[in-house]
C-alpha cells in the first residue's frame, strides 16, 4: 500500500462519513457511486437493477453482498433512498429488515475502509469515486 494512506483526507474523515456527505449532497448520485465502488472492490458481489429503455436507463437499486449480509439500496422515484439488510445463510434469506441510510452507509463504509487498508484496488476505487484521484 502506498505511503501516506492514513494521511489522506477521506481516511481521516472516515469512509462512512464521506459517503454520508455524498448522500447529503445528492441522494440520487450515491447509487451509481456505491455500485461503481463496490464493483471495483468486490467484483461479483454487486447486483444492479435499471429502469428505462435504450439509452435512457437509470439505476433504481443496488444490492451488495458482503459476508452473511446483502445490503440493498433502492430509489423509489421520489423521496429518500430506502435501505435494507438481509441476513443470508447458505443462500437463503433468513431475515430482511429496513435500516436507516445512515446505518447502511456506516456499515458499508466500515467494510470499504477496512478493505482499503489492504487493497490498492479498493483504495483507488474509493479515491476515484469520492473525486480525490484522477
- Cα dist from 116 to 10, 46, 58, 126, whole Å: 11, 17, 28, 8
pLDDT in tens, 16-43: 777 788 777 787 888 888 888 888 878 8
Q: What is the pTM of this model?
A: 0.76
Instruction: Please provide the distance, in angstroms rounded to a whole number, between the alpha carbons at the two ends of the chain.
Output: 18
Please list the alpha-helical segments (H only) found in 14-132: 15-25, 27-41, 101-118, 120-129
Residue 99: pLDDT above 90? yes
Q: Is the dihedral angle over the CA atoms 93, 95, 97, 103 positive or is it negative?
A: negative
Rounded-to-integer distance, Cα 133 and Cα 123, Å: 10
> Could you state, in order of their start, the residue ranges of all structural domains in the chain?
28-129
Residue 11: pLDDT above 70? no
Q: Is the dihedral angle over the CA atoms 4, 9, 12, 16 positive or is it negative?
A: negative
Residue 87: pLDDT above 50? yes
Cell of 125: 476505487
Give me the pLDDT at residue 74, please. 93
- Of residues 81 and 127, the one with the higher pLDDT is 81
Which one of 4-8, 23-27, 102-106 scores highest in mean pLDDT? 102-106
Going by C-alpha positions, the residue among 27, 1, 31, 2 that lies closest to residue 129 is 31
pLDDT in tens, 107-126: 888 877 777 777 777 777 76
Give me the pLDDT at residue 133, please. 55
Amino acid at each position: 500500500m502506498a505511503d501516506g494512506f492514513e494521511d489522506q483526507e477521506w481516511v481521516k474523515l472516515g469512509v462512512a462519513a464521506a459517503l454520508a456527505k455524498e448522500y447529503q449532497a445528492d441522494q440520487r448520485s450515491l447509487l451509481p457511486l456505491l455500485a461503481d465502488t463496490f464493483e471495483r472492490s468486490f467484483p461479483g458481489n454487486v447486483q444492479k437493477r435499471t429502469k428505462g429503455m435504450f439509452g435512457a436507463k437509470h439505476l433504481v437499486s443496488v444490492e451488495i453482498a458482503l459476508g452473511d449480509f446483502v445490503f440493498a439500496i433502492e430509489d423509489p422515484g421520489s423521496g429518500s433512498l430506502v435501505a435494507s439488510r438481509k441476513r443470508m445463510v447458505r443462500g437463503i434469506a433468513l431475515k430482511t429488515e429496513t435500516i436507516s441510510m445512515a446505518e447502511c452507509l456506516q456499515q458499508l463504509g466500515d467494510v470499504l475502509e477496512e478493505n482499503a487498508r489492504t487493497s490498492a484496488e479498493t483504495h483507488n476505487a474509493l479515491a476515484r469515486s469520492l473525486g480525490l484521484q484522477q
